[in-house]
Structure formats: structure tokens, C-alpha cells
Amino acid sequence: MEAFGQNARDRRAVGLAGVAALHVLVVYALVTGLGKDLVKVIQQKVEVAVISEPPPPPPPPPPKIEKVVKDTAPPPPQQQPAYVPPPVVAPTTQSTNTIQATSEAKAPSAPAVPQATAAPVAAPAGPISAIGNCSKLGKPEYPRKADADGIGGVVTVWFKVNAEGKLSDITNIKYASSIPMGYRNQFQASIRQALKEHVCKAASGEATLEQEFGFTASAEE
């Protein structure tokens, strides 16, 4: 029992002596700079280990979606009907007399076809006489200057009336050769004033009438 205790105390003393020697060695290394070199070596190993690790691989690119376009087949070409050559007719031999007789013979004349007679076209309706178609007729006043100078003659007037039978426009005036140009405006103004008093018939809503006015100057009497 005492021997076991003695051995335990000897091992403890040896352990303490080893720990003390380790401390002395560490202190010596720190003092002499060996510890700093040891720390640098350890740091370099750690940096090399960290740098040497490969980076993680990049993520794979997304798959490309390609649009498939179906090729539309062109319509089949239309087949043309096969060409059929016309039948060949063998020429027939005829005598010279037969050919001459055929060429001299006249073809029968075709029967005359009676041509259809065109329907007569109605002539355009011209102006109608105001006398007998107007219930009221105005009387023109004789121009004073023409009456004083002895100017007179027949004046023919074509005029239109509206649906109410009243004057709408004078379309044409024809003067006698005995009325000079310088007096014609006077006669026209007098006749226009008289036509405004006319009351005529217009079955189709508008009618063209004709009337003659005779002027006899008092100087001629």
C-alpha cells in the first residue's frame, strides 16, 4: 500500500516537472522569436488552406425554349390536262373538174331576216301657247320712249311657270327687226312685268309657255 502511494507521488512529481519544462520552453521561444515564426507558419498554412479551396461552381443556365415553327407545305401544283393533238384528216383526191365546179358554184343566199322596226321616239314637248292655258293674262305697258319715237313690232317670249302657275323665268325672247337694240331692254322689262300677272296651268309641276306681244306705236297711226 505504501509502495503504491510512493509511485503515485513519483508520477505526479514527474508530470509537474514536465509541465514546468514546457512552460520554460514556451517562454524561451517567445523571448528568442521562435514563437513568432511558429505563429506565422501556422497562419500561412491556414491562408494556403483557405485560398486553395476551389470556388463553388456557377449555377447552370436556364434551358432555352425554342419555338418550333411547322413548315407549311406548299399546295400541290395543279395538273394541266394532257394535250390531245387534233385528228389528222387525210386529203381526198378530187378531179380538176369537180374542184372548178365547186369553186364556181355560188352559196345559197341566206333568207332575209326582217329587221325589227324601232319604236318611234316621241318628240320632246315644246312650249305651249299661253293663250288658252292661262286663266289670267297680264297686259304689258308700252314703253314711253319707244312710243314717242314710233318704235314698235312683235316680240315673242318663251317663259316658264312653276307648280302654282306663276312666272319662274324667261328662257328666250325674239324681237322683230323693226325694234332696234337700244329699245329692246325697255320692251323686255314691260313684258316681264306683265308675265308676273299671268296665272297658268302646270300639270307636271313646271311648264314652258310661248306668247307673242304686238306693239304698235301711236306715232305710226
> For position 174, what pLDDT does the model report?
96
Round to whole Å and give the CA distance between 32 and 36.
Answer: 9
**Quick check: is 158 in a domain?**
yes
**Quick check: is 165 in a domain?**
yes
Domain count, the chain: 2
For 130-150, the pLDDT digits (tens) are 988 899 999 999 999 999 999
**Quick check: is 203 in a domain?**
yes
**Which amino acid does the sequence have at 152?**
G
**Quick check: is 60 in a domain?**
no
> For position 43, what pLDDT does the model report?
62
Round to whole Å and give the CA distance between 46 and 69.
Answer: 58
Percentage of residues of the chain with pLDDT beyond 90:
33
For 146-170, the pLDDT digits (tens) are 999 999 999 999 999 998 989 999 9
DSSP 8-state assignment for residue 155: E
Q: What band does 198 get if pLDDT is binned at 50, 70 and 90?
A: very high
Domain range for 40: 2-51
- β-bridge partners, 2: none
**Quick check: is 150 in a domain?**
yes
Round to whole Å and give the CA distance between 75 and 63.
Answer: 36
**Quick check: is 84 in a domain?**
no
- β-bridge partners, 174: 156
- pTM of full prediction above 0.85: no
Percentage of residues of the chain with pLDDT beyond 70:
55
Round to whole Å and give the CA distance between 185 and 169.
Answer: 16
pLDDT greater than 60 at residue 97: no
Q: What band does 19 get if pLDDT is binned at 50, 70 and 90?
A: confident
- Reported as half-sphere exposure (CB side, CA atoms, 13 A), residue 20 has a value of 6
Q: CATH number of the domain at 151, please.
A: 3.30.2420.10
**Quick check: is 173 in a domain?**
yes
Domain end point (choices 17, 32, 51): 51
- CB atoms < 10 A from the CB of 192, how many? 16
**Quick check: is 18 in a domain?**
yes
> Would you say 213 and 157 are in contact if contact means Cβ atoms under 8 Å apart?
yes
> For position 105, what pLDDT does the model report?
46
